[in-house]
């Protein structure tokens, strides 16, 4: 089973991923390992269009890696995959197209994790902000609306969970029931 977690920053994706790993899921981190060093430079110095091209290539490489991983592991979880690439770049006014990802391995189940603005801000303050957090700061409603726009177009199984008032252990139970 390929499970993908999508969602805005500080919605609980990494926390849930860690809990699912303890339940037997193999974790796949995006972007792929060989893209990570270049990512820092791309995020800092490239145009939004160049960033979109870079992340699209990363998703396609991740898809190839995931096909291989699923031959060796029964359950694989990905913290952000292709929808996040569409969302963030659409908000940067890049002409994005879901068809750019037609050939990738599609998840068996996709979860969109959401969180209230107030709780997101509390969590971001607690953990610190990444470059992308800072770039999207103040665009909470646009992010959430754009995630939902692309999310509702999914053909595979999907669910939205608001993590605002859910403790991580209860979130794990809720997700386990869905799967």
SS3 25: coil
- Show the CA angle centred on residue 132, arms to residues 92 and 120, nearest 5°: 110
Q: Which two tokens stand for residue 91?
A: 């908000």
Domain count, the chain: 1
pLDDT score at 18? 92
pLDDT band at 127 (very low <50, low <70, confident <90, very high): confident
CATH code (residue 34): 3.40.50.300
pLDDT digits (tens, 9 = 90+) for 92-119: 999 999 999 999 999 999 999 999 999 9
Q: What confidence tens digit (pLDDT) does each residue in 15-58 have?
A: 999 999 998 899 998 999 999 999 989 988 999 999 999 999 99
pLDDT tens digits along 140-161? 999 999 999 999 888 778 999 9
Nearest to 11 by CA among 93, 94, 120, 96: 120
Give the three-class secondary structure for 117.
helix
Dihedral sign, CA of 157, 162, 167, 170?
negative
Domain that holds residue 57: 2-178
């Amino acid at each position: 089973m390929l499970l993908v977690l999508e969602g805005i920053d500080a919605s609980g994706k990494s926390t849930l991923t860690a809990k699912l790993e303890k339940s037997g899921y193999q974790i796949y981190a995006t972007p792929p390992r060989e893209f990570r060093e270049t990512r820092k430079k791309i995020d800092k110095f490239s145009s939004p269009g160049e960033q979109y091209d870079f992340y699209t290539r990363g998703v396609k490489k991740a898809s190839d890696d995931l096909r291989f991983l699923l031959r060796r592991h029964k359950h694989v979880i990905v913290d952000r995959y292709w929808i996040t690439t569409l969302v963030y770049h659409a908000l940067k006014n890049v002409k994005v197209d879901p068809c750019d990802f037609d050939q990738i391995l599609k998840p068996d189940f996709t979860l969109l994790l959401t969180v209230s603005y107030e709780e997101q801000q509390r969590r971001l303050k607690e953990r610190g902000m990444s470059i992308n957090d800072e770039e999207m700061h103040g665009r909470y409603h646009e992010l959430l609306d754009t995630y939902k726009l692309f999310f509702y177009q999914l053909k595979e199984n999907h669910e939205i969970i608001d993590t605002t008032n859910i403790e991580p252990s209860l979130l794990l139970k809720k997700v386990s029931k869905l799967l």
